[in-house]
Amino acid sequence: MMKKIDWIIPGAAIAAALVWFTVQNFTAKEGKMVVVSIDGAVSGTFDLEKDDEIEIEGAYGIVDKLVIKDGKANMVEAGCPDKVCVNMPEISEVGETIVCLPGRIVVEITDGKESEYDSIAD
């Protein structure tokens, strides 16, 4: 025969799990962002969860095409001769980058938060 305590412990565990689930899924979160920089200056910021196609005009008239789809960013076209950036894998995690050196274009995934530092010096 089950005692009252036998029901309280599993019930409390289930209640704690429900509270944790609710907090994790329904609290406001800052999403991941795609930050495009040209020659060190930010030229655009885009939501990683929103599908988009962006033409990026880099240095020396080099035009690249960035596609954001299904939570991933990928360089699909490049106006430079080597096309190294087109051959780089899709990015989706904070800190990952795609770089087009001839166009001086950097595409980076950030967590959407403002950095507390302007720059870091050695």
Share of the chain above pLDDT 90, in %: 58
Q: Which residues contact 103 (CB under 8 A, 6 or more apart)?
A: 38, 56, 58, 59, 60, 62, 63, 64, 78, 79, 80
Which of 77, 82, 68, 5 lies closest to 33, judged by CA?
A: 68
Residue boundaries of the structural domains of the chain: 33-110
Taking only the tens place, the pLDDT of each residue in 36-46 is 999 999 999 99
Report the mean per-residue pLDDT for the chain. 86
Taking only the tens place, the pLDDT of each residue in 37-79 is 999 999 999 999 999 999 999 998 999 999 999 999 999 999 9
CATH fold group of domain 33-110: mini-chromosome maintenance (MCM) complex, domain 2 (2.60.320)
Cα separation values, 43 from 14, 30, 106, Å: 48, 20, 10
**What's the rounded Cα separation, in Å, for the pair 47 and 37?**
15
